[in-house]
Amino acid sequence: MKSSLLISAALAFLLLPGIAVQTIAADDASPNASLTKNGPPRIDVILWFDTEDYLLPADDDACKRLAGILTQRGIHGTFKVVGEKARTLERRGRQDVIDALKKHTIGYHANFHSVHPTPSEYLADCGFLDGINEFVRREGGGAADVRRIFGVPTLACYGQPGSSWSPQGIAALRQIGVAPAGQPCYIDEGSHVGLDEKPFWYEGAINVYHMGHNVTRMELHDPAAVEPAKAKVSEIAEHLRQEGGGLISIFYHPCEWVHEQFWDGVNFAHGRNPPREEWKAPPQLPAEETEGAFHRFEQYLDHIRSVPGVRFITAADLPAIYADVMHKDGVSREEMDELAKRILNTGPSGQVAMDYQVIGRKSFSVADQFELFTLATGQIVSGKAPVFPLFPGGLLGPDSAAPASRTDTHLNWPAFRDATLDVRDFITKERSVPARVFIGAEPVPPGDFLVALASAYQEYQNAGKAPDGVSLGMATGIAAERYIAKDTPQLFGGWVIHPQGFRAPKIMEIARLQAWTLKPALRAE
Ligand SMILES: [Zn+2]
């Protein structure tokens, strides 16, 4: 599921101009600096289980036993439960299984998982906003069932079935009740979007996805796999320790302990969609093979918890660990001045490419920058000095592609003022970056307008008064788009459940628009 799509961490940071601003203490410049003050770097391990087989009854027992193995060791796992799996446990009267799982963190893994149409299938031709509604319509009921059956007020995370990923699903999480501490979380593995093999913010959600070298697992059914798998965890932990700490992602499906073949491949492969009456349970493994796999898994767990500095976390811990300091502390004048400098810093080609920015322990997506400069410049055009700290609420990216750039980039002050007030009204009401900003009758790209906002802000801060006019950017790119995968035949088609040759290029176009919202998730604790 992984690919070598991402630009390396080193190269990505070379692309970021500037360094931490002066007012921030040097020892706070590293996002992980606080970890080293109070002891060795912390290695978090998130163990997540896609709990999805609603056909083979032995899977219920596998869930219970797995939950028990973790509980015995004081380890909390994250069980992402499929809606139909939760309803099946209820129907079969398996309150014992529900109770065992409830000792852990409960997430969500789609309503029916592999019954067609899967999320990417039904979203393939949708736009952003209608796609969010369609995701809520199809998946919201299952999320409510999982909450009801497990007696939890919110689900700790969501992750897609197979490769059936979508940007609309991430934006919909709050609406379907997947927001621990009010914060949507996304946990899965795939290559659609990722940021340097670390957790990241995308569409206002914390994402643990495309973790590259930091995702690992042991092959359960091969006795020879145990020692290499243990060594692999130690090696990743050592690498992260040198970086000052980090997160390791490990995933399984409870059904892997008991089946010979995935339950959904038996029924729904290549777009097949038999009616419920014809759903078949997958073939089951002999009991001794299941036994051996559990035994090996226990050894694997015992090794992981013996690695120095390792702590098991769940999806429910992510909002505190990765709390966005920008929202909590607000944004200072010094940070705004630095952001304006970076936005207006044209490269050798003379063109501007907007990127996420990191200043000290805060990260700023391009959408954050758009909101911040609309707030600050909105005050300036209203005849007031900006008041700091600024508190951005967070925006989604634009819902459609930008128009062409204006050939005449100059704006007189009244035209700029009126456009800024209109943009401020738009973001307040829509909570997203507008796809187009109107200068009178003419639509201009929001990226070009962000350049004008930053330059008006900078001129005001330097001169103490508003300028006579400002310049729009020209063909301003969104550099963060490099973290969004190109559409390829394998990206969605690689999952055996999707029809052969299935592709969803429009989903990736929408994903690229949401690159406006992408930024690293830095540790707050
Ligand atoms: Zn799954």
Q: What is the pLDDT of residue 345?
A: 86
pLDDT greater than 60 at residue 31: no
Which of 30-44, 115-129, 155-169, 425-439 shows the lowest mean pLDDT across its residues? 30-44
Give residue 1's pLDDT band: very low, low, confident or very high (50, 70, 90): very low
Q: How many CB atoms lie within 10 A of CB 5?
A: 18
Task: Tell me, in angstroms, the distance from the centre of ligand 1 to residue 439's CA.
Answer: 47
Q: What separation in Å is there between the alpha carbon of 99 and the centre of ligand 1?
A: 22
| pLDDT over threshold 60, residue 23 | no
Q: Which amino acid is at 370?
A: F
pLDDT digits (tens, 9 = 90+) for 69-84: 999 999 999 999 999 9
Q: What is the pLDDT of residue 158?
A: 98
Separation of CA 80 and ligand 1 centre (Å):
9
Q: Which pLDDT score is estimated for 14? A: 35
Q: How close is the Cα of 9 to the center of ligand 1, in Å?
A: 29
- Whether the pLDDT of residue 311 is over 90: the answer is yes
Reported confidence tier of residue 159, pLDDT bands at 50, 70, 90: very high
- Ligand 1 centre distance from Cα of residue 287 (Å): 23
Q: How far is the CA of 119 from the centre of ligand 1 (A)?
A: 12
Residue 86 Cα, ligand 1 centroid: separation in angstroms? Answer: 14
Distance 252 CA to ligand 1 centre (A): 9
Question: What domains can you pick out in the chain, each with its CATH number?
Answer: 42-322 (3.20.20.370), 328-481 (no CATH)
Q: Give the residue from 178, 204, 180, 199 showing the smallest Cα distance to 188.
A: 199
Distance from the CA of 254 to the center of ligand 1, in angstroms? Answer: 10
Average pLDDT over residues 311-322: 97
For the segment 427-453, the average pLDDT, to the nearest whole number, is: 97
- The proportion of the chain whose per-residue pLDDT surpasses 70, expressed as a percent, equals 91
Give residue 267 CA to ligand 1 midpoint distance, Å: 14
- Beta strands 442-444; 437-439: pairing state: antiparallel
The alpha carbon of 522 and the centre of ligand 1 are apart by a number of angstroms equal to 28
Is it the case that residue 21 has pLDDT exceeding 60? no
pLDDT higher than threshold 60 for residue 29: no
Q: Which of 9-13, 212-216, 425-429 has the lowest mean pLDDT?
A: 9-13
Burial class (CB within 10 angstroms; exposed 0-12, middle 13-18, buried 19+) of 204: buried
pLDDT by residue (tens digit) across 88-139? 999 999 999 999 999 999 999 999 999 999 999 999 999 999 999 999 999 9
- Residue 347 confidence (pLDDT): 63
Name the pLDDT band for 22 (thresholds 50, 70, 90): very low
- Residue range 282-306: mean pLDDT, rounded: 98
Instruction: Say whether pLDDT at 300 is over 50.
Output: yes
- C-alpha–C-alpha distance, residues 368 and 326, integer Å: 9
Write down the pLDDT at residue 5. 34
Distance CA 397, CA 414 (A): 27
How many angstroms is it from 109 CA to the middle of ligand 1? 7
Q: What's the CA gap between 176 and 191, in Å, rounded?
A: 24
Of 155-159, 345-349, 399-403, 466-470, the one with minimum mean pLDDT is 345-349
Phi-psi label, residue 245: left if phi above 0, alpha if psi -120 to 50, beta otherwise: left
The contacts of residue 95 (CB under 8 Å, 6+ apart) are none
Contact indicator for 181, 214 with CB cutoff of 8 Å = no
pLDDT of res. 331: 98
Distance 372 CA to ligand 1 centre (A): 38
Beta strand pairing call for 477-478 and 353-354: parallel
188 Cα–ligand 1 center, Å: 9
CA distance 69 to 107: 19
Query: What per-residue confidence (pLDDT) applies to 9?
Result: 35
Does the pLDDT at position 514 exceed 80?
yes
Confidence at residue 350, expressed as pLDDT on a 0 to 100 scale:
62
pLDDT-derived band at 312, boundaries 50, 70, 90: very high
Please state whether the peptide bond connecting residue 443 to the residue before it is cis, i.e. omega within 30 degrees of 0.
no
Average pLDDT of the chain, as a whole number: 92
What is the whole-number distance in angstroms between the Cα of residue 185 and the centre of ligand 1? 17
| pLDDT above 90 as % of the chain | 89
Give 307 Cα–ligand 1 centroid separation in angstroms: 29
Cα-to-centroid distance, 162 and ligand 1 (Å): 5
> Ligand 1 mean position to 23 CA, how many Å?
47
Q: What is the pLDDT of residue 351?
A: 66
Average pLDDT, stretch 437-462? 97
Question: Is residue 12 predicted with pLDDT exceeding 90?
Answer: no
> What is the SS3 assignment for 392?
coil
Confidence band, pLDDT 50/70/90 cuts, at residue 7: very low
